[in-house]
Structure 1
Amino acid sequence: MEHVEVAVIGGGQSGLAAAHALREQGLRPVILEASEQAAGSWPRYYDSLTLFSPARFSSLPGLPFGGDPDRYPCQDEVVAYLLRYAGHLDAEIRTGHLVAGVHAAGEGFEILLGNGSALGARAVVAATGAFGRPNRPRLPGLDSFTGRVLHVAEYRSPGAFAGRRVVVVGAGNSAVQVAAELAQVAQVSLATRTPVKWFRQRPALGLDLHFWLKATGLDIAPLGRFRRNPPSTPVIDDGRYRAALAAGRPDRRPLFTGIDGPKVTWPDGTTEEVDVIILATGYAPDLAYLAPLGALTEDGHPRHRDGISLTRARLGFVGLEWQRSLSSASLRGVGRDAGYVAGWLAGQLGRR
């Protein structure tokens, strides 16, 4: 069986940042990426997705994003950037390598791949993000709905929904963006448990929110204690989405109270037929392959502190939401966490 020094599971922004940080420590990482390109989940996000952080704040360590630093890059630009980053990375990247399970093997690990082969590793960094595990909450009557139900992870563009009656569930950035986009071609309601919270994209002096987060230190504040019960995230807006909701395109309603076949019942007692329900209800860590190690809680969350496993030596995590700060799962923040985990692993492996 082949053995490597450090296996990085996942070749998206978190895995690439982890590999860069490990190389900075003198370690030799091998990235195992399930898809055929090292761009993580970005190629599968909806087509109109745009970063809410400017390019100047959206780079991984060692390679600027490029172009106008004040623009907000779109999905295709992020994919191109990640592929360019992978091309500059001094680390081996093995695409088409799905990890099926990770088992303990002495002080190290045995990694079982989807094709039935195995790989030994002295250390492992889990960097698979969350896109592969969409959160699908139990909502009243949803199981009986006879229309189409999909998670926003399955949504790409509005064309297929033209003329339909659509309900988007959620109050975060993706929910509002997708609902507003769909409202241009369909009749759309945004269903939320609480009113949407807003935050201005440029809150003062014409400067982007991320300038102020960096200037005040809030972007790197050690807020990992929120990782189990994070505060709700406001919708970052330049005014377009708030205006769209104010104009009723889409309209905002409290979450439905029941469903009977194709009919949705609203809190005021009215009912109507709905064609499609889109769940923009977030994601959970996609880490089932670590279950053989006992490294996860019963609901599949990692047992960790600041990205360091609490149950298994030489196991680290990169890219978890609220791993160490509010920017931990973002392009602008994942590099800091990667550096912290890589430094710890270097000590574990006798490189420090």
Structure 2
Amino acid sequence: MSTDNDRVLIVGAGQSGLAAAYAALEQGLRPVLLEASARAAGSWPHYYDSLTLFSPARYSSLPGLAFGGDGDRYPHRDEVVAYLERYAAALAGRGAEIRTGTRVTEVTEAGGDGFAVRLAGGGELTAPRLIAATGSFARPHRPALTGQDGFTGQILHAAGYRHPQQVAGRRVIVVGAGNSAVQIAYELADHARVTLASRAPIRFLPQRPLGRDVHHWFRLTGFDRLPLRRAERPPSQPVLDHGRYRAALRSGRLERRAMFTRLDGDEVIWTGGDREHADVILLATGYRPALDWLARLGALTGDGRPRQRGGLSSTHRGLGFVGLEWQRTPASNSLRGVGADARHLLRKLAPAGVSPVATHP
């Protein structure tokens, strides 16, 4: 028999929220997922059209449900969306309540223990446990660029990029040195003149060393489960490459330059003083946790980061976080790693007297 004591509110129904719901069911809890969009797929439907996973399908599953199909393929964005929706439907069939079109606006402490969660359009839910699983796509990081207020071209973040036709035929500077920056720049090179601008040289990691995908070696060596010391900001990671990206840089099909020093009118000023016309500055500069709805609770730092250790809030009993970069391991913010973090968290949040149960989507 369920009671209010076994309810856990999970804000966000993307990969992190779904993994948290699975772990909650394992612990005998009653998960209620609150998803602002119309689909239980998180930010995946909003990424650029050509996005493919950097991990093969066999290493890209949430707990209890294999991705399916050829395990060595690299799934497309839309395949991930379909997988997450299958996963959500299976969880719903086992008792998870998923409310789409439900945006959380604010959280405060409820009378006694627990949280009061206010919803857009009115309404409030309370529960003794709350999990933040809203990811970071809604909060793209836009570093300040000297001269940006006077720049006459377009400054676009990767969060708003969908396909090359948006900037075809224009002079584009892609700012960043990570996987998304390189993948987008490589794609755009067939449609525009593109330069990658970064503060440090791009570091590459072979996608398939010794004929096996690098994620095979991560699992074999235990790297993906390696506990990490606490870090306020995740370290930069190398770009996974089958060889095409380095070949493009060597051949001149794609150019990389040290980060420009400033913008001036319709120009970028490169180190050394060279000036060049630019139509578009495309920022592939990452994201920050989108947790503004927790601001009033006092659970965040001054710059909006969660006060937590290993996903467990350091300010509020019963509050947890899932899906943060480098939360516990290098794989924390990924399909292959978020399930372990969710299980770790839910074991700590489950109340005494509630018995864990076996469950499979």
Q: Name the counterpart of 1:169.
A: 175
Partner residue, 1:55: 57
- Counterpart in the other structure of 1:100: 105
Aligned partner of 1:37 in structure 2 is: 39
Counterpart position of 1:159:
165
* Secondary structure in structure 2 of the residue aligned to 1:241: helix
- Quote how far apart the aligned CAs of 1:168 are: 0.4
SS in 1 for 2:128: strand
Q: CA deviation at 1:268?
A: 2.5
1:141 paired residue number = 147
Contact 1:140 1:256 (C-alpha < 8 Å) held by counterparts? no
Taking only aligned residues, the RMSD between alpha carbons, in angstroms, comes to 1.3
Q: Which amino acid aligns with 2:228?
A: L
The match for 1:74 is: 76
Which of 269, 276, 282 lines up with 2:280 in the alignment? 276
The 2-side partners of 1:59 and 1:241 are apart by: 27
Deviation at 1:203, TM superposition (A): 1.6
Q: For residues 176 and 164 of structure 1, what CA distance do their matches in structure 2 show? A: 18
Cα drift, residue 231 of structure 1: 2.2
Partner of 1:334: 338
Aligned to 2:234, which of 230, 234, 248?
230
List aligned pairs for 1:313-328, cutoff 5 A.
313-328=317-332
Partner deviation per Cα, 1:274-301 (whole Å, 9 max, x = no partner): 1111000000001111111111000100
State the Cα distance separating 1:114 from its structure 2 match: 1.1
For 2:358, the equivalent position in structure 1 comes to: none
Q: Are positions 1:6 and 2:8 aligned together?
A: yes
SS of residue in 2 equivalent to 1:149:
strand
Judge conservation of contact 1:224–1:322 (CA < 8 Å) in 2.
Answer: no
In structure 2, the partner of 1:83 is 85
User: Residue 72 of structure 1 aligns to which amino acid in structure 2?
Assistant: Y
The alignment covers a number of residue pairs equal to 348
Match of 1:139, SS? coil
Looking at structure 2, the residues matched to 182 and 238 of structure 1 have their Cα atoms a distance apart, in angstroms, of: 18
The residue number in structure 1 matching 2:134 is: 128
Task: Report deviation, 1:248.
Answer: 2.1
Aligned AA for 1:215? L
TM-score (norm 2): 0.94
- The residue type equivalent to 1:14 in the other structure is S
After TM superposition, give the deviation of residue 350 of structure 1 in Å. 4.2
1:213 and 2:218 are equivalent in the alignment? yes
Alignment partner of 2:119 out of 97, 106, 113: 113
Corresponding residue SS for 1:325: coil
Aligned AA (1:351): V
Question: TM (normalized to structure 1)?
Answer: 0.97
2:229, 2:155 → 1: CA distance?
Answer: 33
Tell me how far apart the structure 2 counterparts of residues 9 and 224 of structure 1 sit (CA, whole Å): 26
| Runs of 4+ in structure 1 over 4 Å off | none
Gaps of 5+ in 2: 356-361
Q: Return the offset for 1:145.
A: 1.1
CA distance in 1, matches of 2:278, 2:80: 34
Deviates more, 1:3-12 or 1:133-142: 3-12
User: Which one of the candidate residues 284, 293, 298 is aligned to 1:294?
Assistant: 298
Please state how far the C-alpha of 1:224 moved relative to its aligned partner.
4.3
Unaligned runs of 5+ in 1: none
Deviation of 1:249 after TM superposition, in Å, equals 2.4
Residue among 294, 297, 303 paired with 2:307:
303
Q: Distance in 2 between matches of 1:213 and 1:139?
A: 37
Select between 306-315 and 253-262 the one with higher mean Cα deviation: 253-262
